[in-house]
Chains A and B, each alone.
Chain A
Amino acid sequence: GAVVSQHPSWVICKSGTSVKIECRSLDFQATTMFWYRQFPKQSLMLMATSNEGSKATYEQGVEKDKFLINHASLTLSTLTVTSAHPEDSSFYICSAKQGQDTEAFFGQGTRLTVV
């Protein structure tokens, strides 16, 4: 299957700083990328959907100014958590798909801990 690489795998940052998470599709063109957040023992929660070259569509309750998403190319999307706080500590996962393909492929996830 297609490969999606997410980096970093884990990060610890101080409260008030910003953290950038990268999601790359290695062997296909990711026209659509999804960003999820998952708290312990809970299911995936979709944060936003981004189409290459367009502004991301955020789900209700997700602050677009706090979670900045950039999808400037067909192989790279980034999620920046700005002014991170301890409550932002979570597992962030991206997935990507090409065109109308039904299957989306997941990155490895990023464990963010804000101290």
Chain B
Amino acid sequence: GQNIDQPTEMTATEGAIVQINCTYQTSGFNGLFWYQQHAGEAPTFLSYNVLDGLEEKGRFSSFLSRSKGYSYLLLKELQMKDSASYLCAVMDSNYQLIWGAGTKLIIKP
């Protein structure tokens, strides 16, 4: 079957760095997405990785290792507004998105 695993909840301190991991087992692979979702709102796109390596975009970076079925989202210089759920999603061979359950990130002052 297809499976996306990510931690349910993480806590970090304002100004610090946090890494949210995602492991996956899917039927084929056409890229991995990270989305941010604030409570009561639709997800917003953060990053897309299809090749191995690190993609940096401002305070957010995303890493992919296809051989390990592993990705992480790195958030630097955490701000209170970063408190949200972070969803990992993999596009399978049929170009369908398989979603993880999301990681709720709590930022403390």
Point out residues on A near B: beta carbons under 8 Å: 1, 6, 34, 41-44, 46, 49, 91, 93, 100, 102-109, 111
Contact between chains at A46 and B97 (CB < 8 Å)? yes
Point out residues on B near A: beta carbons under 8 Å: 30-31, 33, 40-45, 48, 50, 87, 91, 95-97, 99-102, 104
Residue of A nearest to B31 (CB): A102
Contact between chains at B102 and A109 (CB < 8 Å)? no
Contact between chains at A104 and B99 (CB < 8 Å)? no
Looking at the complex, which one of A34, A44, A49 makes contact with B87 (CB distance below 8 Å)?
Answer: A44
Answer whether A109 and B101 are a contact pair too, CB < 8 Å, given A49-B96, A103-B48: no
* Assembled-state Cα–Cα distance A79/B55 (Å): 36
Answer whether A106 and B40 are a contact pair too, CB < 8 Å, given A43-B101, A44-B99, A49-B96: no
Residue among B40, B45, B97, B101 with the highest chain A CB neighbour number at 10 A:
B97
